[in-house]
């Protein structure tokens, strides 16, 4: 009873219920629908040939759920910053299935943790799932194509995935609440409000992403090879690879 009648302060995460007009909610749902459909198709196709793929996706989904549910209050913006985790899933699973992973995590957070809303789920999937995953994936592939090392490529990919998510969120918020005001100045002000917390969080997520890919390289390079993260097994690891 005390929990109901003596509530504590809550800090909202993601884009909460009621922030965006219904028209924009519908637009974002329509925008992410093709990405989710593609992710489902990719999941079905790959898991049909590899029975271990779905459990691996489930493991990474749990990771993204936990990582993106760590709120850090941003008093200047009236919301919370948080790591995203879609940089590493974009690298390992590809952006299509990474969008699906983020969608599951965001839906469960909206239903059970009141992080984000159901009406704004499409917008949250677009920023964290679509934009974050694509930013991490494209950055990593580009840097690896330029022969940059695995760890620095992972660091920059995780960093860009995190920051791209919040740049996209700023534009989503600005588009929904700006009224007759210009879009870009308002989006810039919202993005600026996130800087004090999201700047260091992005760096932290870069280290986390770099650490995960290098750990897999040391312990399970066969996983990186299977998903196309590396092109060949390192010397001394080819025998006994699972």
Q: CA separation (Å) from 158 to 72, 83, 155, 184, 205? A: 18, 10, 5, 25, 6
Residue 79: partners with Cβ closer than 8 Å, 6 or more residues away:
11, 12, 13, 16
Q: Say which residue the tokens 């740049």 belong to.
A: 167
Lowest mean pLDDT: which of 44-48, 157-161, 196-200? 196-200
pLDDT band of residue 242 (cuts 50, 70, 90) is very low
- CA dist 36 and 237 (Å) reads 36
Averaged pLDDT score across all residues of the chain = 86
6, pLDDT greater than 90: no
Per-residue pLDDT tens over the stretch 172-181: 989 888 777 7
Mean pLDDT, to the nearest integer, of 130-151? Answer: 95
DSSP-assigned states of every residue in 176-217:
HH-TTS-HHHHHHHHHHHHHHHHHHHHHHHHHHHHHHHHHHH
- CA dist 78 and 12 (Å) reads 8
Q: How confident is the model at residue 227, as a pLDDT?
A: 85
Rounded to a whole number of angstroms, the distance between the first and last alpha carbons of the chain is: 53
Within 13 Å of residue 208, how many CA atoms lie on the same side as its CB? 22
Q: Say which residue the tokens 């974009």 belong to.
A: 90
- CA dist 87 and 98 (Å) reads 9
Domain ranges of the chain: 18-223
Q: Whole-model pTM?
A: 0.86
96, pLDDT greater than 90: yes
Architecture, CATH, for domain 18-223: Orthogonal Bundle (1.10)
Angle between helices 132-145 and 86-93 (to 10 degrees): 60
pLDDT band of residue 235 (cuts 50, 70, 90) is low
Q: Say which residue the tokens 């219920």 belong to.
A: 17
Of 181, 62, 69, which is closest to residue 115 (Cα–Cα)?
69
The more confidently predicted of residues 10 and 110 is 110
Per-residue pLDDT tens over the stretch 10-22: 445 678 888 888 9
Q: Calculate ∠ Cα 166-168-169, nearest 5°.
A: 60
Q: How confident is the model at residue 13, as a pLDDT?
A: 61
Residue 13: partners with Cβ closer than 8 Å, 6 or more residues away:
69, 71, 79, 80, 82, 109, 115, 116
């Amino acid at each position: 009873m005390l929990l109901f009648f003596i509530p504590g302060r809550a800090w909202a995460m993601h884009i909460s219920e009621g922030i965006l007009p219904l028209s924009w909610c519908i637009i974002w749902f329509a925008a992410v629908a093709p990405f989710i459909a593609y992710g489902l198709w990719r999941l079905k196709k790959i898991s049909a040939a590899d029975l271990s793929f779905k459990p691996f996706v489930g493991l990474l989904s749990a990771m993204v759920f936990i990582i993106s549910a760590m709120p850090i209050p941003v008093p200047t913006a009236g919301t919370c910053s948080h790591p995203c985790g879609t940089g590493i899933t974009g690298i390992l699973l590809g952006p299509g299935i990474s969008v699906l992973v983020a969608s599951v995590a965001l839906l469960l957070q909206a239903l059970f943790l009141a992080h984000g809303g159901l009406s704004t789920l499409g917008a949250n999937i677009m920023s964290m799932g679509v934009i974050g995953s694509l930013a991490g994936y494209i950055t990593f592939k580009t840097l690896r194509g330029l022969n940059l090392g695995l760890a620095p490529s992972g660091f920059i990919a995780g960093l860009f995935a995190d920051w791209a998510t919040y740049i996209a969120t700023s534009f989503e918020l600005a588009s929904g609440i700006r009224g007759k005001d210009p879009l870009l100045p308002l989006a810039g002000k919202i993005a600026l409000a996130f800087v004090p917390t999201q700047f260091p969080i992005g760096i932290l997520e870069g280290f986390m992403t770099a650490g995960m890919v290098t750990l897999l390289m040391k312990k399970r390079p066969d996983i990186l090879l299977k998903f196309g993260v590396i092109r060949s097994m390192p010397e001394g690891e080819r025998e006994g690879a699972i």
